[in-house]
């Protein structure tokens, strides 16, 4: 198994500012993903965080808005840039140890409110 | 349209009642995962189904995957307030390594 820690757990931000969310895994994981969960909704995949290279973004998400880093196999960051109230969501980091049949482990999420 | 559709979208049951949640894909899946999310928290892994026709149980929760690996059901027997939360099915998007989730089912159990 893997334990994933995210911080901050929650934050209230002003419009136009940027916030970086950190994700730390207690062991090496092959894949790391970032999801967004808007109020009352399911999880939407933002991007796959690739170790040592640029993240792979899903349709509707771009690097300028959501820059992602993954310097090693246990750590990743997601930045939400130039925030607007529409960015108010829970952002979840997840990791997977084995191939595409493996369980996905989740952090507790970071709840962002943009005023 | 959603790649994984869940039904119902929400469910309110009396404690002690049985219930079923469904998850449907238009494509054959490598495997199907069920998660539970308590309101405002991260996801808790429940179980994984990989083989067509497979069925697994954990405590009062049973999940099944159909032979075509396109539909799964999650059944809760004698529901309790502790079962309340959001249930999500997940799968690796066919042809990729990317993990996607169903639309979610919000369950409330009345004591």
* Full pLDDT tens readout for chain B, 111 residues: 568 999 999 999 999 999 999 999 988 888 899 999 987 778 888 999 988 899 999 899 999 999 888 999 999 999 999 999 999 999 988 778 788 899 999 999 999
**In chain A, what percentage of residues exceed pLDDT 90?**
74
Smallest Cβ–Cβ distance between B98 and the set A48, A92, A101 belongs to A48
Handedness of CA A74, A107, A114, A45 (dihedral sign): positive
Cβ contact (<8 Å) for A92 and B103? no
Give pLDDT, residue A66: 97
Give pLDDT, residue A99: 56
Smallest Cβ–Cβ distance between B42 and the set A100, A103, A107 belongs to A107
Instruction: Quote the CA–CA distance of B32 and B54 in Å, as a whole number.
Output: 10
Maximum Cα interatomic distance, chain A, rounded to a whole number of Å:
40
Tokens 């309790």 correspond to B80
Instruction: Quote the CA–CA distance of A27 and B19 in Å, as a whole number.
Output: 37
Cβ contact (<8 Å) for B42 and A108? yes
User: What are the CA-CA distances from residue B23 to residues B7, B30, B73, B87 (Å)?
Assistant: 7, 14, 6, 10
CB of A41 within 8 Å of a chain B CB? The answer is yes
B interface with A, Cβ–Cβ below 8 Å: 30-31, 33, 35, 40-43, 45, 48, 50, 88, 90, 92, 97-104, 106
Cβ contact (<8 Å) for A92 and B98? no
The answer to whether B7 and B21 are in contact (CB under 8 A) is: yes
Q: Is the pLDDT of residue A101 over 70?
A: no
Give pLDDT, residue A82: 97
Contact residues on chain A for B10, CB-CB shorter than 8 A: none
Region A1-22: mean pLDDT is: 94
- Tell me the per-residue pLDDT of A29-80, one tens digit each, with 9 for 90 and over: 888 999 999 887 889 999 999 888 889 999 999 999 999 999 999 999 999 9
């Amino acid at each position: 198994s893997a334990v994933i820690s995210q911080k901050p757990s929650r934050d209230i931000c002003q419009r136009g500012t940027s916030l970086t969310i950190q994700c730390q895994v207690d062991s090496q994981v092959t894949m790391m993903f970032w999801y967004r969960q808007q109020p009352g909704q399911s999880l939407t995949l933002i991007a796959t965080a690739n170790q040592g290279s640029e993240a792979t973004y899903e349709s509707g998400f771009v690097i300028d808005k959501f820059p992602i880093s993954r310097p090693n196999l246990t750590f990743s960051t997601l930045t939400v840039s130039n925030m607007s109230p529409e960015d108010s969501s829970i952002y979840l980091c997840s990791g997977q140890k084995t191939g595409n049949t493996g369980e996905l482990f989740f952090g507790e999420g970071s709840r962002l409110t943009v005023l | 349209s959603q790649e994984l559709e869940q039904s119902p979208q929400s469910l309110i049951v009396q404690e002690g009642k049985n219930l079923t949640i469904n998850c449907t894909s238009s494509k054959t899946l490598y495997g199907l995962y069920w998660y539970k999310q308590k309101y405002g928290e991260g996801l808790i892994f429940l179980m994984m189904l990989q083989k067509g026709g497979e069925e697994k149980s954990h405590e009062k929760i049973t999940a099944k995957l159909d032979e075509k690996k396109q539909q799964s059901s999650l059944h809760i027997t004698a529901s309790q307030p502790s079962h309340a939360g959001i249930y999500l099915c997940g799968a690796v998007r066919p042809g990729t390594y990317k993990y996607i989730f169903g639309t979610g089912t919000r369950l409330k159990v009345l004591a």
